[in-house]
């Protein structure tokens, strides 16, 4: 029952460093997405993918890159970390057709100092 | 585009109290509506949903009715438990997308024994 697995759970970066947040799902879901959660702002969509090889921007894509080389994996890259990227990041996946329940990972708490 | 406004928290109740968390929406047409719950240290999980007007979603003693007249989808529970302490999010699909969700800002519920 792995579902959606995110690593790491916690990370501290210095300003300007880069890193990749990993996300993997074992449910053969076509649709995957990354959100950030900030106090009082709910979840905001960063990037999403409707299938392997296809990605698109969400509401707040600046400073982040994604790729989708396989159905299972959807890593999120921070190119040059900034304090404004301090947040909790969630990866989610769902089936491809119509609306289907989104399954979320446990989140990565990132602090940029 | 579609949007959701959610009652601000935090909400603190005693065990067995009645719970209402307000959610109103703005949408084109009549999209599905959702409540997600986030327990401490975990990702979001679907609590309940309603797919058309006048539908009532229910799960774990929680209920919400899709009311198009008042554009509302309020979450209710007749008798809360300490284990219901969590953050609750109202959500609906982004305009023109069946799979992207837009979330409310979340309501923190704390239930005291």
From first to last of its 113 residues, chain B has per-residue pLDDT tens of 889 999 888 999 999 999 999 999 999 888 889 999 999 988 899 999 999 999 999 999 999 999 999 999 999 999 999 999 999 999 998 877 667 788 999 999 999 99
Interface of B with A in 8-47 (CB under 8 A): 32, 41-46
Helices (H), A15-95: none
- Give the B window 65-94 contacts with A, CB below 8 Å: 89, 93-94
Q: Min CA distance, B29 vs chain A (Å)?
A: 15
- Name the 3-class secondary structure at B69: coil
How far off is chain B from A56, nearest CA to CA, in Å? 12
DSSP B53: T
Distance from CA of B78 to the nearest CA of A (A): 25
Question: Following CA atoms B81, B83, B87, B89 in sequence, which dihedral angle do they give, to the nearest 10 degrees?
Answer: -70
Q: What is the distance between the alpha carbons of residues A112 and A110, in angstroms, rounded to a whole number? A: 7
* Cis peptide preceding A36, ω within 30 of 0: no
Number of neighbouring beta carbons within 10 Å of residue B40: 7
Please report where in the chains the tokens 């992207």 appear, as a residue: B100
pLDDT band at A95 (very low <50, low <70, confident <90, very high): confident
- Shortest CA distance from A5: residue in chain B: B43
Taking a contact as any Cβ pair under 8 Å apart, which residues of chain A between 59 and 88 contact chain B? none
* Contact assignment for B89 to A106 by CB distance below 8 Å: no
Q: Are A13 and A30 in contact (CB under 8 A)?
A: no
**In sequence order, which residues have a C-beta less than 8 Å from that of residue A54 and are 6 or more positions away?**
A68
């Amino acid at each position: 029952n792995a579902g959606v697995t995110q690593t790491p759970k916690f990370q501290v970066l210095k300003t300007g460093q880069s890193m990749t947040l990993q996300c993997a799902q074992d449910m053969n879901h076509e649709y995957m997405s990354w959100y950030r959660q900030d106090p009082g702002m709910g979840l905001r969509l960063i990037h999403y993918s409707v299938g392997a090889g296809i990605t698109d921007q969400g509401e707040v894509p600046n400073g982040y890159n994604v790729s989708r080389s396989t159905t299972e994996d959807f890593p999120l890259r921070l190119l040059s970390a900034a304090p404004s990227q301090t947040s909790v990041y969630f990866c989610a996946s769902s089936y491809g057709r119509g609306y289907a329940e989104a399954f979320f990972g446990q989140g990565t708490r990132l602090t940029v100092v | 585009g579609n949007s959701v406004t959610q009652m601000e928290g935090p909400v603190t109740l005693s065990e067995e109290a009645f719970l209402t968390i307000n959610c109103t929406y703005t949408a084109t047409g009549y999209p599905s509506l959702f409540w997600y719950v986030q327990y401490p240290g975990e990702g979001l999980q679907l609590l309940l949903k309603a797919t058309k007007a006048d539908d009532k979603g229910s799960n774990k003693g929680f209920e919400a009715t899709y009311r198009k007249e008042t554009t509302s989808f309020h979450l209710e529970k007749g008798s809360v438990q300490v284990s219901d302490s969590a953050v609750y999010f109202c959500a609906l699909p982004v305009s023109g997308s069946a799979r992207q969700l837009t979330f409310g800002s979340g309501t923190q519920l704390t239930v005291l024994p």
